[in-house]
Amino acid sequence: MTAAPQNRAGLAILIILVGMFSISLNDMIIKQLSGGYPLHEIVFARSAIGILIGLAIVQIEGGLHLLKTDEPWPHALRGVLIVTSNMTFFVALAALPLAEATALFFVAPLVITLLSIPMLGEKVGPMRLGAVAVGFVGVVIMQRPWASSDALDVSRWVLLLPIVAAVTYALNQLMTRKLGVKAKASVMSVYIQAAFIVVSVGFFLAAGDGRYVDAGSGASSTFLLRAWVWPAAGDAWVFLALGTNSAVIGYCLSQAYRLGDAATVAPFEYVLLPLAMFWGYVVFGDLPVLEVWIGIALILFAGLFVFLRERHKARAITRGYAARR
């Protein structure tokens, strides 16, 4: 008989709030490092540290034998999806203001709602479909299709990267609740960190010498393909903190969705957006432009409406969207 998911809402909410604060720190630090280090080096360093901490937690929670699974391919697919989501989002961070990139990523719950129709056989009524449409209007406004390319600070391809991250994360999140029935949060975190290590080593072997970067490369492509460099003495502690924080994020987000229904937990992830605005202003001096404020308002309204509607209908379908990091 398949075990039923746990439901400890209070503890799950507390854990998700810790995870959101950790994610906000993660994004702020990675944006700070994007001017001097390649993304794959940052990912490798934080995941190498994170996986060691994760393995220690697995040992405490029952032993390394827990890493053995009878569902390797679903876990591998989840790893590929979350790595793709992370990498595309982080590349966007190098060029976009923190709040804008985060807000664009918040389209993920709306994507999940749409994907639940063909993938899970969900019946989505006109009210939720209307909310999804409002959210996508917000995304379109933030993309500013009426503006010329010269009037934008970044290319339109960069503006699309958080959307790609949201779609791949949505696909990943549809798998998380099911896999979490059998696998502990620490185990799933280790699997994800291992996927990051494999991909970052692959990037190093293919582009670690910076051969694909030239003077005309944009901020995002330079961040992705810049040559590896040895961290400066002061930055070594930053990498250590980033890796430790990565382990906290992986554990908190997996554990929150194991312990609580996603329709209850996920609305609390919206605390990430004001945190992103706070760090964006305090650290980088960025404030959203009018179009971004309008888009943020529409996406927030749509996402919260979908969550509240789901809770009202007592659905138990995954609706989280920030477990990308």
Whole-number pLDDT of residue 7: 59
Alpha-helical regions (H) of the chain = 9-33, 39-61, 72-93, 98-105, 108-120, 126-143, 156-179, 185-207, 219-225, 233-259, 262-265, 272-284, 290-312
Position 321 in a domain: no
Residue 314 DSSP code: T
**Nearest alpha carbon to residue 252 among 240, 241, 242, 265:** 265
Q: How many Cα atoms are found within 13 Å in the side-chain-facing hemisphere of 64?
A: 5
Position 285 in a domain: yes
Position 44 in a domain: yes
Position 169 in a domain: yes
Position 186 in a domain: yes
Residues of the chain with pLDDT under 70: 1-7, 120, 122, 149-151, 176-182, 261-263, 310-325
Position 324 in a domain: no
Both tokens assigned to 64: 């390394």
Position 319 in a domain: no
Range of the domain at 142: 9-312
Whole-number pLDDT of residue 201: 94
**Single-letter residue type at 279:** W
Position 173 in a domain: yes
Report the domain count for the chain.
1
Sorted by sequence, the CB contacts under 8 Å of residue 238 that are 6+ apart come out as 29, 32, 33, 231
**Nearest alpha carbon to residue 154 among 96, 211, 84:** 96
Q: How far is the first Cα of the chain from the last one, in angstroms, to the nearest whole number?
A: 32
The pTM score is 0.81
